[in-house]
């Protein structure tokens, strides 16, 4: 520790924050399960990027609940909530990750609430609304799925890896993503595109996927919570150059045994 650095928060410091985030995520899950079909569907960054009145309502609920208990914290939400705090804690909120799935009633959407302390992600809750699965983690405390410990797979052979990915809302970027897929698909067991980045990370964390990669992800809210779950389950998440993940730059997530070969494959795929 340097003389001016602040000690990292312990799991005991973070436990009340995790409880708060979990309570809020479960409330929002109930709200979405009982709200009926989504109304007022609008387009956002492109014709294929959707937002509904419920995305905004859920974000408002999360922000109100956080501010009532933690008025000094900062926050950043996908649907526009933003606030500088003074406590060193900043919440990263994706009120509905997987909005396209939500609009279609296609299972695979989640409430994602993460927190960073002095810029380091330290806590995450991802609640899969229809499966009623809650992934959570605090730095140094391990990761759980519905309170049971989870761990990434140990697979080291890329040719038998089940790999998740996602696609941009921009047509031009999708063309480049399709070109890269031509290199990845023949080199792995198969590809999955589930439609919610937070769940992709949690599914690597619990072994339902071996690896995940995606470029042009919307923002820090997409990965704030899932990245903590993944790391606490023993996984790695980085940008393609090995540095910290930094949306919209391409990021990859795997277990440590697959990491280097997967990164090399993605480098070749994206050099094309």
* 215 lines the binding site for ligand IPD (CB under 6 A): no
Determine which residue in the list 150, 188, 197, 253 makes contact with ligand IPD, applying CB under 6 A: 197
* Residue number, 218 or 224, with CB nearest to ligand IPD: 218
* Residue number, 97 or 232, with CB nearest to Ca ion: 97
* 98 lines the binding site for ligand IPD (CB under 6 A): yes
* 164 lines the binding site for ligand IPD (CB under 6 A): no
Q: At what angle do helices 220-232 and 197-205 cross, to 10 degrees?
A: 10
* 77 lines the binding site for ligand IPD (CB under 6 A): no
Residue 132 CB: number of other CB atoms within 10 A? Answer: 12
Q: Which of 235, 225, 228 is nearest to 205 (CA)?
A: 235
> Of the ranges 25-33, 98-106, 148-156, 172-180, which one interacts with ligand IPD (CB under 6 A)?
98-106
In the complex, what is the shortest distance from the CB of residue 112 to Ca ion, in angstroms, rounded to a whole number? 7
What does DSSP assign to residue 248? T
d(CA 54, CA 264): 40
Please check whether residue 211 is in contact with residue 164, taking contact to mean a CB–CB distance below 8 angstroms. Answer: yes
> Of the ranges 121-129, 135-143, 170-178, 191-199, which one interacts with ligand IPD (CB under 6 A)?
191-199
Q: Which of 268, 258, 244, 253 is nearest to 197 (CA)?
A: 253
* 116 lines the binding site for Ca ion (CB under 5 A): no
113 backbone dihedrals φ, ψ, rounded to 5°: -130, 115
User: DSSP alpha helices (H): ranges in 79-232?
Assistant: 99-104, 171-184, 197-205, 220-232
In the complex, what is the shortest distance from the CB of residue 111 to ligand IPD, in angstroms, rounded to a whole number? 11
* 200 lines the binding site for Ca ion (CB under 5 A): no
Residues that bind ligand IPD (CB under 6 A): 78, 94, 97-100, 166-167, 195-197, 214, 217-218, 222
């Amino acid at each position: 520790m340097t003389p001016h650095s602040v000690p990292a928060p312990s799991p005991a410091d973070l436990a009340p924050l995790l409880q708060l985030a979990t309570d809020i995520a479960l409330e929002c899950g109930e709200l979405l399960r009982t709200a009926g079909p989504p109304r007022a569907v609008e387009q956002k960054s492109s014709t294929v990027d959707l937002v509904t009145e419920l995305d905004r309502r859920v974000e408002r609920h999360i922000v109100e609940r956080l501010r009532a208990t933690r008025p000094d914290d900062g926050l950043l939400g996908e649907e526009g909530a933003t606030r500088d705090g003074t406590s060193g804690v900043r919440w990263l909120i994706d009120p509905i990750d997987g909005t396209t799935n939500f609009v279609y009633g296609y299972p695979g959407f989640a409430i994602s609430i993460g927190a960073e302390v002095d810029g380091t992600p330290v806590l995450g809750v991802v609640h899969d609304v229809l499966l009623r699965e809650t992934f959570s983690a605090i730095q140094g405390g391990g990761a759980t799925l519905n309170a049971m410990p989870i761990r990434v797979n140990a697979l080291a052979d890329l040719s038998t890896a089940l790999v998740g990915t996602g696609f941009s809302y921009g047509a031009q970027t999708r063309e480049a993503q399709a070109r890269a897929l031509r290199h990845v698909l023949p080199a792995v067991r198969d590809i999955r595109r589930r439609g919610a980045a937070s769940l992709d990370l949690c599914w690597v964390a619990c072994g339902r996927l071996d690896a995940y990669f995606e470029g042009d992800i919307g923002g820090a809210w997409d990965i704030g919570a899932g990245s903590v779950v993944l790391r606490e389950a023993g996984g790695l998440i980085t940008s393609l150059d090995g540095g910290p993940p930094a949306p919209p730059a391409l990021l990859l997530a795997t277990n440590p045994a697959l990491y280097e070969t997967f990164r090399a494959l993605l480098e070749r795929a994206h050099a094309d």
